[in-house]
């Protein structure tokens, strides 16, 4: 096989055209072993291999639980059954199904598409079989928040869609495409916010790629504090579009700057946990301007302390800060919220308010990228 043939085969293998259906594991964080399912509007057919099809009309409730790795179900109208797996199929396009997991602290979810339930070790595997475009408004609402301008949501929609397609086989070994938790992207179910729904429709099928049409790693965060971080510095994985960008757009936000003081006792405990003797840690108080480079790693008494370790230990809003002793406390003076890599949400929101279009926003935060249809995009080969 020559190089050209190999390249064509690789392109075919990594092509994403037609990949619009998606299976999402619901309640992935709490993994319940019982579930209440209600048809909110329309009707659906419950398919159980033994009984065949049972019609579930609006208002009927189906209680699902597990017994000896079999699925037991009982409807309010009195039908009882056991099966190895259950599928609920909507009879019409407008059917909405509500899921509630008793004993779970996750809110109930209203979903479009099919619901498939199987036993999974110790819990139910609850899958929503839907399309990328149908689940996108829910993902955007969860990741981007409320009350933003239209082009901000359009930017978040192409970011979320890019993320889904790039990570579509993340749970391949588990038998589904993505989970509804922060591990993948939070998916709360169907949302009705018309600005978000319209932003998703307007950008339908559009994704962000590099110049080789490869889907980008579409990282984003709350507020960069005036300068985004390069992924090479934060994650030790460099991408040509995840580089430092000076951001004049996010300083209006309350998240742009923060201060926090901790007691000297807490600080000394932290130093001792790192094997550093308190009182001679002067080298830790580095430059007085916040510094987010990995070089912000401080070496003290032969030990290293990173900004990230301090962020986790003291619950700081970002690892982009300076610190100094202030009497019987230590004062942190920081910028931004989150890891700082990729799109800055506060900045993107402000750019949209200033009438910048969504593709200008993504081009600003992911330099050298473009927006194309998913039909022409490819997933990068696995490393
Ligand atoms: Zn996941
Ligand atoms: Zn910013």
Tens of pLDDT, residue by residue, the chain (383 residues): 455 555 444 444 445 554 589 999 999 999 999 999 999 988 999 988 777 788 888 888 999 999 888 899 998 888 888 889 999 999 988 899 999 999 889 999 999 999 999 998 889 999 999 999 999 999 999 999 989 999 999 999 999 999 999 999 999 999 999 999 999 999 999 999 999 999 999 999 999 999 999 999 999 999 999 999 999 888 878 999 999 999 999 999 888 899 999 999 999 999 999 888 888 777 777 666 666 655 467 777 888 888 888 988 999 999 888 888 888 999 999 999 999 999 999 999 999 999 999 999 999 999 999 999 999 999 998 76
- Nearest listed ligand to the Cα of residue 164: 1
pTM: predicted TM-score of the whole model, two decimal places: 0.88
Could you say which ligand is closest to the alpha carbon of residue 167? 1
Q: Which ligand is nearest to the CA of 250?
A: 2
Give the helix ranges, DSSP H, for 167-248.
194-202, 231-234
Q: Which ligand approaches the C-alpha of residue 245 most closely?
A: 2
Ligand 2 centroid from CA 329, angstroms: 29
**Is the C-alpha dihedral spanning 290, 307, 235, 225 positive or negative?**
negative
Residue written as token pair 């108080």 = 285
Within its chain, how far is the Cα of 328 from the centroid? Answer: 40
Ligand nearest to the CA of 179: 1
Q: How far is the CA of 127 from the centre of ligand 2 (A)?
A: 36
Question: Residues 6 or more apart from 104 whose CB is under 8 A from it?
Answer: 27, 30, 32
- For residue 218, report the distance from its CA to the centre of ligand 2, in Å: 15
Rounded to an integer, what distance in angstroms lies between the CA atom of residue 316 and that of residue 308?
9
Exposed, middle or buried by CB within 10 Å (0-12, 13-18, 19+), for 265? exposed
Alpha carbon 296 to chain centroid, angstroms: 27
CA distances 47 to 14, 52, 74, 309, Å, are 34, 6, 13, 51
Ligand nearest to the CA of 171: 1
CA–centroid distance, 31 to ligand 1, in Å, is 13
DSSP class of residue 379?
Answer: P
Checking DSSP bridges between strand 52-57 and strand 96-100, what pairing results, if any?
unpaired
How many angstroms separate the first and last alpha carbons of the chain?
22
Structure confidence at residue 327 (pLDDT): 86
Ligand sitting nearest the alpha carbon of 222: 2
CB 137 within 8 A of CB 143: no
If you ran DSSP here, which 8-state letter would residue 125 be given? Answer: E
Measured in Å, residue 365 CA sits from the centre of ligand 2 at: 9
Ligand nearest to the CA of 320: 2
Phi-psi category of 101—alpha, beta or left, where left has phi over 0 and alpha has psi -120 to 50? beta
Question: 290: closest CA among 328, 337, 250, 358?
Answer: 337
Return the domain boundaries, the chain.
Answer: 32-121, 254-335
Q: Exposed/middle/buried for 339, CB within 10 Å: 0-12, 13-18, 19+? A: buried
Yes or no: say if 318 and 334 are a contact pair by the CB < 8 Å rule: yes
Q: Which of 204, 103, 104, 191 is nearest to 143 (CA)?
A: 191
CA of 227 to the centre of ligand 2 (A): 6
Task: Kindly give the distance from the C-alpha atom of residue 162 to the centroid of ligand 2, in angstroms, as a whole number.
Answer: 21
Query: Which bound ligand lies closest to the C-alpha atom of 180?
Result: 1
- Rounded to the nearest angstrom, the distance between the alpha carbon of 130 and the centre of ligand 2 is 34
User: How far does the centroid of ligand 2 lie from the alpha carbon of residue 313, in Å?
Assistant: 24
Burial of 240 (0-12, 13-18, 19+ CB in 10 A): middle
Burial class (CB in 10 A: 0-12, 13-18, 19+), 2: exposed
The rounded Å distance from CA 298 to ligand 2 centre is 25
Give me ligand 2 centre to Cα 168, in Å.
Answer: 28
Distance 158 CA to ligand 1 centre (A): 19
Ligand 2 midpoint to CA 8 (Å)? 40
Closest of 253, 252, 234 to residue 244, by C-alpha? 234
- pLDDT in the model for residue 292: 63
> Which ligand approaches the C-alpha of residue 24 most closely?
1
Q: How many CB atoms are closer than 10 A to CB 283?
A: 12
Query: How do strand 220-221 and strand 52-57 relate by DSSP bridges?
Result: unpaired
Task: Tell me the CA–centroid distance for residue 171 and ligand 1, in Å.
Answer: 7
Query: In angstroms, what is the span from residue 88 Cα to ligand 1's centroid?
Result: 23
Instruction: List the beta bridge partners of residue 131.
Output: 21
Query: Measured between alpha carbons, how far is residue 267 from residues 38, 69, 170, 310 in Å?
Result: 52, 50, 39, 10
Kindly give the distance from the C-alpha atom of residue 148 to the centroid of ligand 2, in angstroms, as a whole number: 16
Distance 267 CA to ligand 2 centre (A): 29
């Amino acid at each position: 096989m020559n190089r050209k043939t190999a390249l064509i085969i690789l392109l075919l293998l990594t092509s994403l055209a037609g990949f619009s259906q998606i299976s999402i594991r619901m309640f992935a964080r709490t993994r319940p072993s019982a579930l209440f399912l209600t048809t909110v509007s329309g009707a659906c057919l419950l398919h159980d291999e033994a009984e065949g099809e049972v019609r579930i009309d609006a208002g009927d409730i189906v209680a699902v639980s597990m017994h000896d790795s079999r699925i037991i179900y009982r409807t309010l109208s009195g039908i009882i059954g056991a099966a190895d797996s259950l599928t609920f199929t909507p009879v019409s396009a407008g059917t909405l199904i509500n899921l509630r997991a008793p004993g779970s602290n996750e809110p109930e979810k209203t979903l479009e598409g099919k619901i498939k339930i199987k036993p999974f070790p110790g819990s139910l595997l609850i899958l929503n079989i839907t399309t990328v475009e149908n689940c996108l408004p829910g993902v955007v609402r969860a990741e981007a928040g409320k009350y933003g301008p239209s082009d901000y949501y359009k930017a978040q929609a192409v970011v979320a869609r890019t993320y889904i397609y790039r990570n579509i086989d993340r749970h391949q070994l588990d038998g589904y495409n993505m989970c509804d938790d922060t591990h993948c992207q939070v998916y709360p179910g169907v949302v009705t916010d018309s600005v978000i729904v319209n932003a998703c429709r307007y950008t339908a099928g559009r994704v962000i790629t590099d110049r080789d049409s490869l889907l980008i790693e579409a990282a984003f965060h709350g507020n960069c504090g005036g300068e985004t971080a390069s992924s090479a510095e934060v994650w030790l994985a460099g991408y040509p579009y995840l580089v430092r960008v000076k951001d004049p757009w996010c300083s209006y936000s309350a998240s742009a700057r923060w201060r926090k003081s901790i007691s000297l006792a807490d600080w000394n405990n932290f130093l001792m946990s790192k094997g550093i003797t308190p009182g001679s840690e002067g080298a830790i108080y580095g430059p007085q301007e916040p510094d987010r480079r990995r070089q912000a790693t401080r070496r003290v008494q032969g030990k290293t302390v990173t900004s990230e370790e301090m962020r986790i230990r003291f619950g700081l809003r970002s690892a982009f800060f300076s610190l100094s002793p202030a009497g019987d406390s230590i004062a942190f003076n920081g910028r931004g919220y989150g890891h700082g890599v990729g799109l800055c949400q506060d900045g993107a929101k402000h750019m949209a308010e200033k009438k910048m279009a969504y593709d200008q926003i993504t081009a600003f935060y992911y330099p050298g990228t473009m927006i194309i249809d998913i039909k022409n995009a490819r997933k990068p080969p696995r490393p």
